[in-house]
Amino acid sequence: MATDYSRLNTGHVSAADKAVLDEGLRSYMLKVYNYVASGLALSGAAAAFTASTPALYNAVFGTPLQWVVMLAPLGLLFVMGRGSVQTTKILYWVMVATFGVSISYIFHVYTAESVVRVFFITAVTFGAMSLYGYTTKRDLSGMGSFLIMGLFGIIIASVVNIFLASSMLQFVVSVLGVLIFTGLTAFDTQRIKSEYYHGHDQELQEKGAIMGAVSLYLNFLNLFMMLLSLLGNRE
């Protein structure tokens, strides 16, 4: 029996339809989280492999190729979701692998122990905020608009700091970044959850799961990098 999504917010949903919705939502969110976890695992493997392979590491970070590796994921973000489901999946795996290569330098800058410690701190923080976003009845859309404006602010500040090389500005950006990406994790989780109720067909829903995973993956990755900047022990 098909579920009438348009009636979800009116309170006129039967018990059977609600059970179907709840089960479908759990399955959908599990798919999103599986994409996030798999993406992080692939990024970690790519980062570790690049950092431990001197020829590859030097080829990336000792030449202009580093700019290609750093900017390529951003280019992929602009085209993801526009093709078929299979194309979107392939672009997702390419993106997370490239992100892994681009952050492989952390293994040469920070101790392995601090990288692992900060990763687990990030995982706990991310998990708690995503759970909050999933369970809260509060509408986070207003907070999301504010956080997105803050995101643009720290991006601009980070670009400016490339030329200023100010440790104080970097500290401020990292602190604000932790707050912003922590909040965005809750906001994006609620947004992904609400999008499920739009009742798209299977293909659009599959794309939605991948693009939702992209948002949460980027929140996790950026939160990790900001926390590492604040809490990581340098070699």
Domain boundaries, the chain: 5-231
pLDDT(131) > 50: yes
Bridge partners of 234, per DSSP, are: 110
- DSSP helix/strand/coil, 235: coil
- Residues 76-92 have pLDDT tens digits of 988 887 888 999 999 99
- DSSP helix/strand/coil, 199: coil
pLDDT at 135: 94
pLDDT at 79: 87
Rounded to whole angstroms, how far apart are CA atoms 43 and 41? 5
pLDDT at 115: 96
Residue 11 Rama label (left phi>0; alpha psi -120 to 50; beta): left
Query: Is 35 in contact with 41 (CB distance < 8 Å)?
Result: no
Rounded to whole angstroms, how far apart are CA atoms 115 and 106? 8
Mean pLDDT of 174-199: 91
Query: Is 206 in contact with 87 (CB distance < 8 Å)?
Result: no
- Residues 8-49 have pLDDT tens digits of 544 555 666 666 677 888 999 999 999 999 999 999 999 999
Rounded to whole angstroms, how far apart are CA atoms 223 and 130? 13
Rounded to whole angstroms, how far apart are CA atoms 212 and 183? 16
Which residues are CB-contacts of 6 (< 8 A; sequence separation ≥ 6)?
Answer: 199
Which is more confident, 185 or 21? 185
pLDDT(3) > 70: no
